[in-house]
């Protein structure tokens, strides 16, 4: 077994999905460049690249989960559980910070007045973290159940 704790089928699936996601992103970025060259703007510059990036990474992630190549074998071991608990604690701490910043000390956010909404970004980060943790938990349950 490899250092990544994935079995051979999972590694094969990852390589396949990764290669295809990379080619998809390269194609979409080139298509975006070409469209912008002809004056067709479907989205402003940094956002368009970000959207393409998210599409590539999102498709990669969905394919990994779909093909069962996201969590390796031996997921029920203590180390993995410790990581889960640590992740959940981190998410709770960040969520508490958001609540404090939002309701207890709302003036604290005025320091970041650069246009990006820090609260929203933090909430999205915490939500993404919790979604990842839940996904890993569900996959481990599916992997460890009897036939």
Partner 1 sequence: MGKNLRLKASRAAKDMSQKQLADAVGVTRQTIIAIENGDYNPTLRLCIDICVTLGKTLDQLFWEGTKDEQNEPG
| Interface residue list for partner 1 (CB under 8 A) | 1, 7-10, 68, 72-74, 143-147
Please state the closest distance from residue 143 (CB atom) to partner 1, in A: 6
Given CA atoms 111, 117, 119, 124 in this order, what sign does their dihedral have?
A: negative
Distance CA 50, CA 56 (A): 10
In the complex with partner 1, the residue whose CB is nearer, 19 or 144, is 144
Q: Which residue has the tokens 């959940």?
A: 88
Least separation in angstroms between residue 21's CB and partner 1 is 21
Instruction: Indicate the residue among 60 and 70 with the shorter CB distance to partner 1.
Output: 70
Q: How far is the CB of 144 from partner 1 (least distance, A)?
A: 7
Would you say 102 and 119 are in contact if contact means Cβ atoms under 8 Å apart?
A: yes
Question: In which residue are the tokens 């820090």 written?
Answer: 118
């Amino acid at each position: 077994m490899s250092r990544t704790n994935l079995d051979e089928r999972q590694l094969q699936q990852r390589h396949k999905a990764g290669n295809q996601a990379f080619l998809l992103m390269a194609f979409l970025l080139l298509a975006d460049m070409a469209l912008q060259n002809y004056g067709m703007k479907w989205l402003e510059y940094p956002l368009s690249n970000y959207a393409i990036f998210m599409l590539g990474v999102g498709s990669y992630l969905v394919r990994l989960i779909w093909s069962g190549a996201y969590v390796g074998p031996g997921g029920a071991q203590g180390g993995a559980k410790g990581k889960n608990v640590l992740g959940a604690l981190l998410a709770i701490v960040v969520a508490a910070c958001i609540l404090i910043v939002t309701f207890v000390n709302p003036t604290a956010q005025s320091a970041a007045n650069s246009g990006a909404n820090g609260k929203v970004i933090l909430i999205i980060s915490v939500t993404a973290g919790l979604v990842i943790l839940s996904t890993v938990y569900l996959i481990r349950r599916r992997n460890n159940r009897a036939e």
